[in-house]
Structure 1
Amino acid sequence: MGKKLIVALLLVCTFVSAQAQTTPAKGSKTEVQDPDNLAKDYFSQIMGVAISATSNLKLYQFIYDWIGTPYRLGGDTKRGIDCSGFAYQLYDKVFNTVIGNNSRNIFSMVNPIDKDELKEGDLVFFKIKSRSISHIGVYIGDNKFAHASSSRGVMISNLDEPYWKRYYYKGGRLIESLREKLNTEN
């Protein structure tokens, strides 16, 4: 059985279980669980990230839908995608914002920020065996980021892993005035 099918079955079981918990016993009050909270709990468990009430559920759903997509240099579809293509698709679909199509020109669109300032949806940049930026990911919280790895496709990694720690360059937040400008042009 595929990983996504197993995860989907677990999600169905979670919702069925939650609905069973909302069925009142005689004489008791009904307590209905918010489906968004169930989804946030679910994504917290499968992504290993503490998802708060203010978290962008659309972001986590997008990442979940792309996990396991194979890597393909220059790719931008579920048949194969590279790191900048993944960041581009995520920003387009989740934030309704068009960004550049390679990690270096995307970096030119951000305000660099320190690692300890990263927030959900910020971009993380790496210089892997290179003097210039060669990899990009999207920060999702708890020191984790989603990206398209050349060896394993779309996945979630931890900035504290020795490999990523070694090649980490900077975090970046899309410049607000640029974000507004891009959104008004479309």
Structure 2
Amino acid sequence: MKTKKLVAAMLFIGLCLVSQAQTNQTKSSDPDNLAKEYFSQIMGVAKDATTNTKLYQFVYEWLGTPYRLGGDSKHGIDCSKFSLAVYENVFNTTIGYNSRNQYANVTPIEKEDLKAGDLVFFKIRSKSITHVGVYLGDDRFAHASSSKGVMVSNLSEAYWRRYYYNGGRPKVDHERVMMANIGNDDDNNSNLN
């Protein structure tokens, strides 16, 4: 009798293991799921928060790019040009060319209401906005840091908490161009690659 129970228990455990292996194989074979899992680990954002794979892919490709004031390429980029590059390449939208101009054209968003792709603004040792980043989720944001280049930081860190000003979601007109850029057609055609 004990032998039958032992065999039955072993068969049950074997079936559970096979079932689990099949479930894992199904999840692993889904490219979107793999990408979300990968970017979740790299960016420090919960997997269920990684809804826009294109955003995370773009940020990942720019990680480590050095900071260069006024730069707009992978040889060097500043914070506002980085957020501009994100919006042009991920959201097919042109936003302002500096952090103050970008802030002037957003709908303010409370920190707890931020969603991936929203902009986060900072007043670093200044009365005006001096820095901008792109929110990724779970208090993480991507930005071009003057000391470390393009990186992912946490809004909960003391430094960023101290200088955080506000979040914002761009107001977009019918042509997907922010209002402040209308009439600047020559500037809207810059190549950021």
- TM-score tier, shorter chain, comes to 0.7 to 0.9
Q: What is the Cα deviation at residue 183 of structure 1?
A: 5.0
Give unmatched runs, 5+ long, in structure 1: 1-24
Structure 2: unaligned runs, 5 residues or longer: 1-17, 183-187, 189-193
Query: Is the partner of 2:68 in helix, strand or coil?
Result: coil
Q: Indicate the residue corresponding to 1:180 in structure 2.
A: 174
- In the alignment, which residue of structure 1 is the partner of 2:53? 57
Alpha-carbon distance in 1 for matches of 2:53, 2:70: 28
- Residue of structure 1 equivalent to 2:160: 164
What does residue 113 of structure 2 align with? 117
Please tell me whether the aligned partners of residues 97 and 179 of structure 1 are also in contact (alpha carbons under 8 angstroms).
no
* Structure 1 residue runs of 4 or more that deviate by more than 6 Å after TM superposition: none
Amino acid at match of 1:61: Q
* Distance across 2 between alignment mates of 1:165 and 1:179: 32
Across the aligned residues of Structure 1 and Structure 2, the Cα RMSD in angstroms comes to 2.2
1:153 corresponds to 2:149: yes
- Return the letter of the residue paired with 1:72: R
Give identity over the alignment, percent: 64
1:116–1:71 Cα change, 3 Å: same
The match for 1:11 is none
State the shift of 1:52 in Å.
Answer: 2.3
2:40–2:50 Cα contact (<8 Å) kept: no
- 1:41 maps to 37
Which of 76, 88, 97 is the equivalent residue of 1:80? 76
Residue 102 of structure 1: which of 79, 98, 101 is its match? 98
Contact 2:92 2:176 in 1 (8 A): no
Distance 1:29 1:42, change over 3 A: closer
Q: How many residues align?
A: 158
Compute the TM-score of the two structures, normalised by the length of structure 1.
Answer: 0.79
